[in-house]
Amino acid sequence: MKRPGLMRALVALFALITATAAHAEDGYDLWLRYRPAPAAEAAPYRAALGEVVVEGRSPTLAIAGDELRRGLGGTLGAPAADAPPVILGTPGSSPRIAALRLPLQAAGAEGYLIRSVTVDGRPATVVAANSEAGVLYGAFHLLRLVQTRRPIARLDVAEAPKVKVRVLNHWDNLDRTVERGYAGFSLWDWHKLPDWKDSRYVDYARANASLGINGTVLNNVNAKADSLTAPYIEKAAALADTFRPYGIKVYLSARFSSPIEIGGLKTADPLDPTVRAFWKAKADEIYRAIPDFGGFLVKANSEGQPGPQDYGRSHADGANMLAEAVGPHGGIVMWRAFVYSNEQPEDRAKQAYNEFVPLDGRFAPNVIVQVKNGAIDFQPREPFHPLFGATPKTPLMLEVQITKEYLGFATHLAYLGPMYEETLDADTWRRGKGSTVARVVDGSLFGHRLTGMAGVANIGTDRNWSGSQFDQANWYVFGRMAWDPYLSSRDIAGEWARMTFSNDPRFLGPVVDMMMGSREAVVDYMTPLGLHHLMGTSHHYGPAPWVDDLGRADWTPVYYHRADAAGIGFDRTKTGSDAISQYAPRAAAELLADEKNLLWFRHVAWDRKVSSGRTLWDELVVRYTDGVRQVSQMRRTWAAMAPHVDAERHAEVAAFLAIQEQEAQWWRDACLAYFQTFSKRPLPAGYAPPAHPLAHYKALRFPYAPGI
Ligand code: GCV
């Protein structure tokens, strides 16, 4: 008996099941999803990109070929027999590439060319580089063009990284907790290493290589000396072996007091010959296990960490001692400038500059000083760090946080591209107009060849790697900007959204706009107009602007906002701490003129009129409220994207946005309830009072907040 209705229903059900299965995604694949393109979109790529031909044999070249086959196969299906081949290799690995005599000089050690060429009288696409890592980067670039549906007829791409050291800093502890980590536990399974290598290590390496990230610091800057003992060196070597074919070097954070803790010495004084011998021997031992070891990252004399000042020595003495140990092996030392001490009466924002500017010119050539984007600590907004541009003889690398310690952890959607861009584009005016932080970072301002950019990783064991789907975008944008600090954050957001979700313009327009506004929304509902460090004690979750009783004044919010009956804000002009004088005069003038920094640099009367024509108090209420409104708008935007996103990821983002909206409201209400006790002014008409009395917010406790 024919039952066409039932048959149709079954066919429809089957189609639904397969479609759902095909589209069920949890974010594990990141931006390397390689989902099938609709036939019409695939057609020009299928016609242009045929079989992948790897010329030469090496693990890295094989990986590049496999990735291209996987990516093109997934996106376009099996290669068409008559489509021009894609040929990969270096002039050294491939006589055919050598015969093309491509202009590879400018590609340097890690760059590449992608060209439409003629090989053996037939059209072909060639991905060529001087090094195998360059070929791998080129392969990922070609995939990106396909994934983002860029034109590929007559390809002529030439790329080289503008920054040499492009590293993730993992604040991962040996027990697998992650300081300021909101994505589960550390990926590194130290206990099972070196014998068991989790397959995730390879996917981690693939993701990084796809962005051009070429280094990873495995352990927390608040380091344990154990990381430098023989068993842990062997474990790190196993990771280094896995990452090597992906062009990724391993680095370690070094605890300055290791000579005492694991070397049996009585001192860690950097000028003591036995201490120097310890570090030399330790470096030799590491290089025997990891011949391409990148070097050390050091947090010294900061937040209780040991350092050279414990022995009356300078940061340069400490850094140079380690530089001497790794130098013969080609290693570097990344010495952090994140130093401040509450024993000093000086404004915390001034201390790193005061410490490091006098040392300019005293660091060994293989030392680079690592400087956070701002002078306090990864706040939602900070003016650029005054050290940028102030040490012409010392290379500085930029450190940004990818993890969102102060921006709502994993559940707040905040795309950090605009924040990185704001710092990189900032003009230090140290060598006239255009002396941007990007030019300090890429070395062009003062002619440095050792250059770098570091991102504090947001990666953990969560299936989605970063704690949320949109936090993957922050890993992505860090990598892309470390490769080229002049890229636009909007373009990168578009790229990421295309690869991670959809190429549909009905998705891209609203979602890229949402991403671009998202960090500003956080600034508005947490710390508008230059306020900073109002977060809960130690865990930094939620608002606690009232905290005034910690062991150190410079960890309390009241130290930073200084609200009183007269007004609010930290006077860093001449009448106050004069931190502004650490900037070049033109830069100082620009920073002071920008209302975004108002309360960073000035204590302002509650009734002073701001640019909107409102009083400062009213403006604060408006900004806090608007931050919440923006998140509500983000929720609506995302809800409308359901047709374009698989159900699982859509639901996760929607749920997190709901949390963000509640927490934005909490931030607004708690801060306004507290600041109103000083301003003693009513909220402007039409603005709702806080939902609870101040005591309610003050009583909240979060002893198990993540990331501590
Ligand atoms: C790794 C901030 C964080 C600390 C971090 C420190 C640093 O203070 O709260 O967790 O320590 O920065 O960058 O060293």
The DSSP code for 604 is E
**Section 676-685 average pLDDT:** 98
Ligand 1 centroid – CA 455 distance (Å) = 13
In this structure, are 112 and 132 located in the same domain? yes
Whether 171 is in the pocket of ligand 1, judged by its Cβ within 6 Å, is yes
- pLDDT of 447 above 70: yes
Query: What would the 3-class secondary structure string for 560-579 be?
Result: HHCCCCCEECCCCCCCCCCH
Whether 525 is in the pocket of ligand 1, judged by its Cβ within 6 Å, is no
Instruction: Determine the pLDDT at residue 1.
Output: 37
How many other β-carbons are positioned within 10 Å of the β-carbon of residue 230? 11
For residue 38, how far is the Cα from the chain centroid?
Answer: 33
Ligand 1 centroid – CA 403 distance (Å) = 12
Whether 554 is in the pocket of ligand 1, judged by its Cβ within 6 Å, is no
Instruction: Determine the pLDDT at residue 10.
Output: 44
In this structure, are 358 and 390 located in the same domain? yes
- pLDDT of 60 above 80: yes
pLDDT tens digits for 522-574?
999 999 999 999 999 999 999 999 999 988 889 899 999 999 999 999 999 99
Whether 299 is in the pocket of ligand 1, judged by its Cβ within 6 Å, is yes
- 150 — pLDDT class (breaks 50, 70, 90): very high
Query: What is the rounded distance in angstroms from the CA atom of residue 497 to the CA atom of residue 516?
Result: 12
Collapsed DSSP state (helix, strand, coil) of residue 284: helix
Distances in Å between the Cα of 177 and the Cα atoms of 173, 250, 305, 652 are 5, 20, 19, 24
Six-digit token pair at 694?
Answer: 């101040």
- Mark whether 422 is an active-site residue: no
How many other β-carbons are positioned within 10 Å of the β-carbon of residue 21? 8
In this structure, are 307 and 200 located in the same domain? yes
Contacts of 355 (CB under 8 A, 6+ apart): 315, 337, 339
**Substitution site in 377, 382, 399 for ligand 1 pocket (most atoms within 8 Å of beta carbon):** 377
Residue 556 lies in a domain: yes
Instruction: Determine the pLDDT at residue 552.
Output: 85
Instruction: Determine the pLDDT at residue 9.
Output: 43
Six-digit token pair at 398?
Answer: 């930029």
In this structure, are 121 and 267 located in the same domain? no
Residue 298 identity = V
How many other β-carbons are positioned within 10 Å of the β-carbon of residue 281? 12
Query: What is the rounded distance in angstroms from the CA atom of residue 49 to the CA atom of residue 151?
Result: 12
In this structure, are 152 and 172 located in the same domain? no
Query: What is the rounded distance in angstroms from the CA atom of residue 521 to the CA atom of residue 302?
Result: 31
Ligand 1 centroid – CA 377 distance (Å) = 8
Q: Is the peptide bond before 682 cis (omega within 30 degrees of 0)?
A: no
- Mark whether 377 is an active-site residue: yes
pLDDT tens digits for 653-678?
999 999 999 999 999 999 999 999 99
Mean predicted lDDT score pLDDT of the chain: 96
Whether 581 is in the pocket of ligand 1, judged by its Cβ within 6 Å, is no
Strand partners, 348: none
Collapsed DSSP state (helix, strand, coil) of residue 333: strand
Cα dihedral 468/472/477/483 (nearest 10) = 150
In contact, 396 and 371? CB cutoff 8 Å: yes
- Mark whether 405 is an active-site residue: yes
Q: What is the DSSP string of 33-52?
A: --PPPPHHHHHHHHHH---E
Residue 10 lies in a domain: no
CATH code of the domain containing 694: 3.90.1330.10
Alpha helices in 104-256 (DSSP H): 132-147, 200-211, 230-243
For residue 353, how far is the Cα from the chain centroid?
Answer: 23
DSSP-derived pairing of the beta strands 367-372 and 332-336: parallel
Instruction: Determine the pLDDT at residue 344.
Output: 82
Whether 650 is in the pocket of ligand 1, judged by its Cβ within 6 Å, is no
In this structure, are 602 and 645 located in the same domain? yes
**Section 579-597 average pLDDT:** 98
Contacts of 262 (CB under 8 A, 6+ apart): 225, 226, 228, 229
Contacts of 271 (CB under 8 A, 6+ apart): 311, 313, 317, 321
Residue minimizing CA distance to atom 8 of ligand 1 = 377
Ligand 1 centroid – CA 702 distance (Å) = 19
Cα dihedral 499/505/508/511 (nearest 10) = -150
- pLDDT of 168 above 90: yes
* DSSP tally for the chain: helices H, then strands E: 22, 15
Domain with 29 in it:
23-159
Whether 377 is in the pocket of ligand 1, judged by its Cβ within 6 Å, is yes
Ligand 1 centroid – CA 327 distance (Å) = 28
In contact, 399 and 456? CB cutoff 8 Å: yes
Atom of ligand 1 at shortest distance to CA of 171? Answer: 1
In contact, 301 and 309? CB cutoff 8 Å: yes
CATH code of the domain containing 235: 3.20.20.80
Collapsed DSSP state (helix, strand, coil) of residue 613: coil
Atom of ligand 1 at shortest distance to CA of 220? Answer: 1
In this structure, are 134 and 247 located in the same domain? no
Residue 271 lies in a domain: yes
In this structure, are 558 and 600 located in the same domain? yes
Instruction: Determine the pLDDT at residue 342.
Output: 79
Residue 515 lies in a domain: no
Of 29, 241, 303, 324, which residue is the catalytic one? Answer: 303
Residue 697 identity = Y
Q: What is the DSSP string of 411-468?
A: GS----HHHHHHHHH-B--BTBTT-BHHHHHTSTTTT-S--EEEEE----SSTTSSSS
**Section 20-47 average pLDDT:** 89
Whether 222 is in the pocket of ligand 1, judged by its Cβ within 6 Å, is yes
Six-digit token pair at 85?
Answer: 């081949």
For residue 152, how far is the Cα from the chain centroid?
Answer: 30
- 214 — pLDDT class (breaks 50, 70, 90): very high
Of 405, 571, 663, 669, which residue is the catalytic one? Answer: 405
Collapsed DSSP state (helix, strand, coil) of residue 182: coil
- pLDDT of 14 above 80: no
Atom of ligand 1 at shortest distance to CA of 399? Answer: 13
Residue minimizing CA distance to atom 12 of ligand 1 = 377
Residue 121 lies in a domain: yes
Ligand 1 centroid – CA 251 distance (Å) = 19
Residue 131 lies in a domain: yes
From 116, 134, 159, give the residue that closes a domain.
Answer: 159
Six-digit token pair at 332?
Answer: 């570097």
Distances in Å between the Cα of 542 and the Cα atoms of 385, 535, 655, 669, 679 are 25, 6, 18, 11, 22
Ligand 1 centroid – CA 170 distance (Å) = 12
- C-alpha angle 604-609-614 in degrees, rounded to nearest 5: 120
In this structure, are 441 and 339 located in the same domain? yes
Ligand 1 centroid – CA 169 distance (Å) = 12
Whether 396 is in the pocket of ligand 1, judged by its Cβ within 6 Å, is no
Nearest to 504 by CA among 517, 494, 514, 489: 494
In this structure, are 242 and 366 located in the same domain? yes
Instruction: Determine the pLDDT at residue 551.
Output: 84
Q: What is the DSSP string of 64-123?
A: HHHHHHHHHHHHH-SPPTTSPPEEEE-TTT-HHHHHTT---GGGTTT-EEEEEEEETTEE
Instruction: Determine the pLDDT at residue 174.
Output: 98
Residue minimizing CA distance to atom 13 of ligand 1 = 338
Instruction: Determine the pLDDT at residue 23.
Output: 53
Six-digit token pair at 558?
Answer: 């009241």
Residue 641 identity = M
- pLDDT of 455 above 80: yes
Query: What is the rounded distance in angstroms from the CA atom of residue 193 to the CA atom of residue 205?
Result: 17
First and final CA of the chain: distance in angstroms?
A: 68
In this structure, are 140 and 175 located in the same domain? no
pLDDT tens digits for 333-383?
999 999 998 788 899 999 999 999 999 999 999 999 999 999 999 999 999
Ligand 1 centroid – CA 348 distance (Å) = 14
Residue 239 lies in a domain: yes
**Substitution site in 173, 178, 180, 708 for ligand 1 pocket (most atoms within 8 Å of beta carbon):** 180
In this structure, are 47 and 155 located in the same domain? yes
Whether 406 is in the pocket of ligand 1, judged by its Cβ within 6 Å, is no
| Number of domains present in the structure of the chain | 3
Whether 221 is in the pocket of ligand 1, judged by its Cβ within 6 Å, is yes
Atom of ligand 1 at shortest distance to CA of 540? Answer: 9
- pLDDT of 7 above 70: no
Of 159, 377, 571, 661, which residue is the catalytic one? Answer: 377
